[in-house]
Amino acid sequence: MFLVKRDNSNKNFIIKGFITSILLSAFIYLSHFNIEYLLLNTVLGLLAIYFLVTIPRKSLFITGFSTGIFWFYWIGISLQYYELTYLIPVLLIVIGIGYGLLFLLLGLINNIIYRVIAIFAFTFITPFGFNWMKFELLFIDSYFNTSKESFALILAAILIISQLKRLKILALIPLFIAFEMPHGKIIDNPNLDIYMPQLNLSQELKWKKENRANIIDKNLNIIENAISLNKDLVVLPETSIPTVLNNQRELFKYLKELSLDINIFTGALYLENNQIYNATYLFSKGEVQIAKKVVLVPFGEEIPLPKFFVNLINNTFYGGAQDYAKATNPTDFTINETKIRNAICYEATTDKIFENLGDTKYMIAISNNAWFTPSIEPTLQKLLMKYYAKKYNVTIYHVVNGSKNYIIRP
């Protein structure tokens, strides 16, 4: 009774695996093209999980391979900036095989109860610290809650539908419990008039030394414009000032002077004890505070492998560059008596950055998506931020280079 159905047709198992991957990925692409209907996402999400639970074991590798590429093909776009374009096809195959093998584990035992438990366990897995594939995310713009408890209830409903011939109606019970009534978002704004400029600086130009002075001037013009508009706070994206800012004495001094008229929140590199940090600088009332990044991007800012492999990869592909250093705990800034949690790009999509929030209700996240555009990466990042904003009841102000800024409310 509890065996997953066999399928002896090679053609059928490939088709079923591929269709399942399309269903698992549809919500991202629909959101990317601004097609966001709760009913459509609800139905597609349920179908995706139903197929994942019931397809033959040998279809799972196809599903994982295709889903990995559908979700993360954009990672390869960044390789061009390291002059590693030739590795893009290799990277795509590695991503596909990696997720294909992970999905194969869902069918390690040919038993549907095992399959359901394994799918739920998958929601806790973060290969190499990379946590962007979340099955709960399928329901972020649907009629269901995105908590793990709700996802477990959805899996229970699928199990009932697939196993009970006459009592399938019982599946409505867990689905009803997982149901989340749509409601209008409560507008709870901080006591700040925030200026969120839209920047679209090409990654190819950003780190060339000959462009640095011009880029810095543009940032200063934005700050001065925000002052002229009587804003309380101006937010600039991740590494908006493309240098080790605390080494630039004159610029550092001038930003302190400007902060007498406006709070300045900007991304830049920070040097301390011969270690480089990806950081946020808050210039306020002539003083400066530094928030160092807590969660680094796997294989982008750090190599999550033993030191021998770290050195080998950095020497082979990154010209001997070292991993960024990282802070231990998140940083909260207080601006005009409002507490704001700092987040830099990837870490805004991790549980770590939301630890010990206390009474902090707002987050300012800064990103540089020029590494990955044009692609679905900004869309997937936004969907993940929706997930975490809802999970932790935090309003997120996201200022980005290379894609659109936005505000996400829980």
Q: Phi first, then psi: give them for residue 287, nearest 5 degrees.
A: -120, 170
Q: Which of 345, 347, 377, 386 is catalytic?
A: 345
Extract the tokens encoding 241.
């000032």
Report cis status (omega within 30 of 0) of the bond before 374: yes
Active site residue 293: yes
H, E, C per residue of the chain: CCCCCCCCCHHHHHHHHHHHHHHHHHHHHHHHCCCCCHHHHHHHHHHHHHHHHHCCHHHHHHHHHHHHHHHHHHHHHHHHHHCCHHHHHHHHHHHHHHHHHHHHHHHCCCCHHHHHHHHHHHCCCCHHHCCCCCHHHHHCCCCECCCHHHHHHHHHHHHHHHHCCCCHHHHHHHHHHHECCCCCCCCCCCCCCEECCCECCCHHHHCCHHHHHHHHHHHHHHHHHHHHCCCCEEECCCCCEEEEHHHCHHHHHHHHHHCCCCEEEEEEEEEECCEEEEEEEEEECCEEEEEECCCCCECCCECCCCHHHHHHHHHHHCCCCCCCECCCCCCEEEECCEEEEEEEHHHHHCCHHHCCCCCCCEEEEEEEHHHCCCCCHHHHHHHHHHHHHHHHCCEEEEEEECCCCEEECC
Q: Provide the pairing of β-strand 194-195 with 395-401.
A: unpaired
Rounded-to-integer distance, Cα 11 and Cα 4, Å: 18
CB proximity list for 343: less than 8 A, separation 6 or greater:
330, 353, 363, 364, 365, 366, 396
390 as an active site residue: the answer is no
345 labelled catalytic: yes
Which is the catalytic residue, given 136, 238, 302, 347? 238
Catalytic-role residue among 293, 302, 377, 386:
293
Q: Which two tokens stand for residue 205?
A: 């130009």
In a 10 Å sphere around its CB, with 0-12 CB exposed, 13-18 middle and 19+ buried, how is residue 18 labelled? middle
> CA–CA separation, 277 vs 261, rounded Å?
27
Q: Catalytic residue positions?
A: 238, 293, 345
